[in-house]
Amino acid sequence: MTLRRYGTLFLFFLILLSFLAPLFMGPANEAVAPPFSKPLWLDLGSARPLSFNVKEETLSFRWNDKPPTTFSIEGTVSFESPPKEAFLLLITPDRIYKLADFSGGQYFNVDIDSRDVPLKFYLGLDPFVDLPSLVFSERGEYKLTVKSDSEARINLKVAIHVGRWGLFGTDQRGRDVFRLFVAGIKISLLVGISATIIASTLGMGLGLLAGYIGGLIDSSIMRVIDVLLAIPTLPILMVISGVWGRGLWQIVLVLSIFSWMGTARVVRSMTLSLREAPYVENLRALGASTRYILTRHLIPEALPLLLAQMALGVPGAILAEAGLSFLGLSDPLMPSWGRMLHEAHVFGAFTSGAWWLIFPPGFGIVVICLIFMGIGRKLEEQADPRLKESLKR
């Protein structure tokens, strides 16, 4: 009962989050920190990342923690006249590192990353050495300076990363997992609701047609339903997704084609019971057309049950989309929850203990499915009060 009571409010909160959060955050696919950075709250007492905007020729700062994961320096350095000798130096408590040579030029773009192999070769180091651990091995005063015989104009951004980022950390590409999680809300709801609406509309139409017209049409529709229900759905979805493409709407269409049968059977059974009702017989005796009876009486009667079936169908569509995405059959640029689980599996998060890549999308899928199941059960009870009475017993 608690889930049913607060599930709708939590669903509205997720929808609001999916639309408002991107306004205050960067793109979901943007790299923001080193890969596999843990969430900040896992180790509150450890070092914090540092970021500086350098405008002067010398930047001084203290480092009193264990070595960072990575560091980077980006920006521009220009000179009034080409210097004979000019270098970007990082002065540590135990040695001096020459990070870049600006001699003989006037304008330079700086893009230094401690993970770059060319940088390690330039420093005369082994390509497999952990450069941040070597550079920041000592605690104390550090200086970043541009040493030259010409006046320099400096615009650099220095970032020192400590292997932790944000609420949910980062994935294998250095992307913020929280941003991906928020983007996945919209994708999962869009696929689940769209596929269910299309499938429910198709199922209602065919169910009404089979139940009211009867005869050969009824038999043909029911045989098609029996055949589709007998086909293993996942392999067929995999084949069709591979043939039609991996776009969002291709997945919605594929899911819709194999999701309408249950709704059609439920609506057909209800139509069969109403077809012989006295008021329907009276309408036919008065000369009412089939279209009038269906649109003005039978469809309104079916709507409460149809809404319940739609709500109960959303979890199946979300799980199916997550399954296809987990198997790699979705658009790689579409940050869905299933895609997040797929990439976490491919890049070894399941075996390396990077649980912050697995828990958010898995939790989101479970919660969304439970919410819609609760809404569906509630709508079923409203459509058929006997279900509510049976639950009370």
Q: Does 33 reside within a domain?
A: no
In this prediction the pTM is 0.74
Band of residue 391 on the pLDDT scale cut at 50, 70, 90: very low
One domain, residues 154 and 218: no
Q: Is the pLDDT of residue 267 over 70?
A: yes
pLDDT digits (tens, 9 = 90+) for 372-389: 998 888 888 876 665 555
- CA 179 – CA 170 distance, rounded (Å): 10
pLDDT at 198: 93
Q: What is the CATH number of the domain that holds 64?
A: 2.60.120
Q: Is the pLDDT of residue 328 over 60?
A: yes
pLDDT digits (tens, 9 = 90+) for 111-133: 998 888 899 999 988 888 888 88
One domain, residues 152 and 182: no
Q: Is the pLDDT of residue 103 over 60?
A: yes
pLDDT at 4: 61
- CA 80 – CA 66 distance, rounded (Å): 39
Number of structural domains the chain divides into: 2
Nearest-CA neighbor of 302 among 179, 209, 177? 209
One domain, residues 246 and 369: yes
- CA 105 – CA 73 distance, rounded (Å): 19
Nearest-CA neighbor of 57 among 123, 129, 126, 156? 156
- What proportion of the chain, given as a percentage, has pLDDT over 90? 20
Of 102-116, 229-243, 316-330, 345-359, least confident by mean pLDDT is: 229-243
Contacts of 64 (CB under 8 A, 6+ apart): 139, 140
Q: Which two tokens stand for residue 41?
A: 């709250």
Q: Does 367 reside within a domain?
A: yes
Mean pLDDT of 44-51: 57
Mean pLDDT of 169-186: 90
For residue 229, the one-letter residue type is L
Q: Is 169 left (phi over 0), alpha (psi -120 to 50) or beta?
A: left
One domain, residues 74 and 221: no
Band of residue 11 on the pLDDT scale cut at 50, 70, 90: confident
C-alpha angle 93/99/100, rounded to 5°?
145
At 3 the three-state DSSP class reads helix
Q: Is the pLDDT of residue 352 over 80?
A: no
Q: Does 57 reside within a domain?
A: yes
The sign of the CA dihedral 27, 30, 166, 185 is positive
Q: Is the pLDDT of residue 45 over 60?
A: no
- CA 311 – CA 42 distance, rounded (Å): 37
- CA 54 – CA 285 distance, rounded (Å): 88
Tell me how far CA of residue 355 lies from CA of 114, 152, 225, 244, in angstroms: 26, 47, 41, 33
Band of residue 361 on the pLDDT scale cut at 50, 70, 90: very high
Q: What is the CATH number of the domain that holds 325?
A: 1.10.3720.10
The rounded mean pLDDT for the chain is 84
One domain, residues 186 and 65: no
Q: Does 370 reside within a domain?
A: yes
Q: Are 90 and 144 in contact (CB under 8 A)?
A: yes
Contacts of 119 (CB under 8 A, 6+ apart): 99, 112, 113, 131
Mean pLDDT of 261-267: 89
- What proportion of the chain, given as a percentage, has pLDDT over 70? 93
Q: Which range of residues forms the domain containing residue 319?
A: 177-392
What strand order describes the sheet that includes 96-101? 58-63, 140-148, 86-91, 96-101
pLDDT at 384: 65
pLDDT at 369: 92
- CA 132 – CA 112 distance, rounded (Å): 12
pLDDT at 353: 80
- CA 326 – CA 217 distance, rounded (Å): 39
One domain, residues 134 and 269: no
